[in-house]
Amino acid sequence: RIYTNTLSTANYCYYVDPNLGNDGNDGTSPNAPFKTIQAAVNAAGTARSVIRCAAGTYDSDDGVMEAAGMKNRVSLTDNQTLRIVGAGAGKSIIKGALDESDPAHDGSKRGPAAMRCFASGSGKANILQGFTLADGRCGYTGNGTDAVSQHSGGGAFLGGSLTSNMILSDCVVTNCGGY
């Protein structure tokens, strides 16, 4: 496991390990980490927190937090202040999902079964650092009320009114797509 970088003004620190973790843990120790990043995001609430993520592939849940009608592997809500730190690009991988049925019939694999890797709401000062975002797709099918949000950002959707306060640092985005 590799846990690096701290946010000195954080109120809480949570740990995540996709191989050894369990979302039934409290996530406050490297010896009792969460399994999914979303469990740590949910536990953090609106407190300033650091989430330290071990190397591995984060793809074990069914997606969460419908943002503009989209499933997202990790989704931050409004007013969260988080620093989510991976073990490094190529080591900590947040994997979205393709829609293998390809309802657009164009090879893009977008559709209702698709999933983004990461989505941010109107957070205050969030950082996602040291990850690869892979195989994320937005699933716009033309049925939603927010078409821009639904077909933008297959790897990362940095939405909300404070978009400039979301920072992706030392991240790689690969094989992700939107409209």
Q: Residues 29-43: what's their mean pLDDT?
A: 96
* Amino acid at residue number 24: G
Residue-level pLDDT at 126? 85
What does the pLDDT look like over 39-95, one tens digit per residue?
999 999 888 899 999 999 999 877 775 655 678 899 887 778 899 999 999 999 999
Q: 149 or 166, which is more confident?
A: 166
Lowest pLDDT segment from 82-86, 153-157, 166-170: 153-157
Would the CA dihedral through 179, 98, 42, 30 be positive or negative?
A: negative
- The torsion defined by the Cα of 114, 117, 121 and 122, in degrees rounded to 10, comes to -150
